[in-house]
Amino acid sequence: MIDCGEGAQLAFMRQRLSFSRLRHIFLTHLHGDHVFGLPGLVGTIALNGTGGHLTIHTFEDGARQLKSIFDYFCRDTPFEINFNIIKPEEAVILQTKSLTVRTIPLKHRIPTVGFVFEETPKPRHINPEMTRFHGVPIYMMNRIKNGEDFIRQDGKVIENSILTHPPTPSLSYAHISDTIYMPDIAEKIGPVSLLFHETTYLEEHKAMAAPRGHSTAKQAAMVARDAGASMLLTGHYSSRYHDDSLFLKEARDIFPNVILNKEGLVTNLD
């Protein structure tokens, strides 16, 4: 979960997600609208009697504040809450077998980071006809999947690309909120499958965006274009607007593949 605004536990339940599968919460920054759902969520997980552990990735002072809240209001939590202390800088903050998570510093009114989630590259797919034809033994298969060439008994080298198909693409997601427009961030994000970039304002209110630490839809689209992202997800709209389609229109003038965020949206990255 990335950020946890008030009511997040209800949204979680409406989506029929399982609390017991929630293991990591990444906090971009410590403004209330990104954090105030956390105590209630933790309390509900505690009530549901789910064991295990939950790791909250946040800055040191956020961890101190949250720990104090949990200690007082969620005393008998039957699961462990760990804090992974992060800093507003570029760093890898989590690495699992299948996933790497790194931070990118953003520019908002208080220290803020974006997160990039990248699946570990996956093994190549064996072409069974070709491995049979060239007599690749079973014990070699994992090495072939990982890209090795095969040397036949007769000494002939069979290139890996003959024995395998390309791997299933690794998916990646970048979450960039809240921030002013940072042109140089695109390079740090890279060609992700999906980029969420906040679009608090439209260009017509561009003059408000930077002083308040926010971006426009056009600026988000420029970041998506420059990063080489496959898809842009907009969101974090100012309540002054009543027609979300204006964000879509503005962004699509710059970058074609845009989807509008709204509560309950489910997007397939494949």
Catalytic residues: 33
Instruction: Pick the stretch among 35-43, 117-125, 202-210, 250-258 that binds a second copy (CB under 8 A).
Output: 35-43
Report the nearest approach of a second copy to the CB of residue 31 (Å). Answer: 7
Residue from 13, 20, 33, 90 binding a second copy (CB under 8 A): 33
How many Cβ atoms are within 10 Å of 2's Cβ, its own excluded? 17
Residue 72 in the binding site for a second copy (CB under 8 A): yes
Residue from 25, 27, 35, 180 binding a second copy (CB under 8 A): 35
Residue 9 in the binding site for a second copy (CB under 8 A): yes
Query: Measured from the CB atom, is 32 or 155 closer to a second copy?
Result: 32
Report the nearest approach of a second copy to the CB of residue 244 (Å). Answer: 19
Give 38-62 as a DSSP string. HHHHHHHHHHTT--SEEEEEE-HHH
Stated as kind and residue range, the H or E segment containing 246 is helix 245-252
Query: Measured from the CB atom, is 44 or 170 closer to a second copy?
Result: 44
Distance CA 199, CA 238 (A): 8
Query: How does strand 164-165 pair with strand 232-233?
Result: unpaired
Cβ atoms of residues 230 and 193 within 8 Å: yes
Report the nearest approach of a second copy to the CB of residue 73 (Å). Answer: 5
Residue from 60, 61, 187, 253 binding a second copy (CB under 8 A): 61
Instruction: Pick the stretch among 7-15, 180-188, 198-206, 221-229 that binds a second copy (CB under 8 A).
Output: 7-15
Tell me the HSE value of 33 on the side-chain side, using a 13 A CA sphere. Answer: 5
What are phi and psi for residue 198, nearest 5 degrees? -55, 145
Cβ atoms of residues 212 and 239 within 8 Å: no
* Residue 223 three-state SS: helix
Cβ atoms of residues 232 and 255 within 8 Å: yes
Instruction: Pick the stretch among 17-25, 68-76, 142-150, 224-232 that binds a second copy (CB under 8 A).
Output: 68-76
Instruction: Pick the stretch among 64-72, 164-172, 200-208, 209-217 that binds a second copy (CB under 8 A).
Output: 64-72
Query: Measured from the CB atom, is 73 or 133 closer to a second copy?
Result: 73
Kindly state the DSSP code that residue 216 receives in the 8-state scheme: B
Report the nearest approach of a second copy to the CB of residue 10 (Å). Answer: 7
Residues 201-220 that bind a second copy (CB under 8 A): none
Structure tokens at 160: 């890996």
Distance CA 11, CA 190 (A): 30
- Which residues of the shown chain bind a second copy in the complex (CB under 8 A)? 6-7, 9-10, 30-33, 35-37, 39-40, 43, 61, 65, 68-69, 72-74
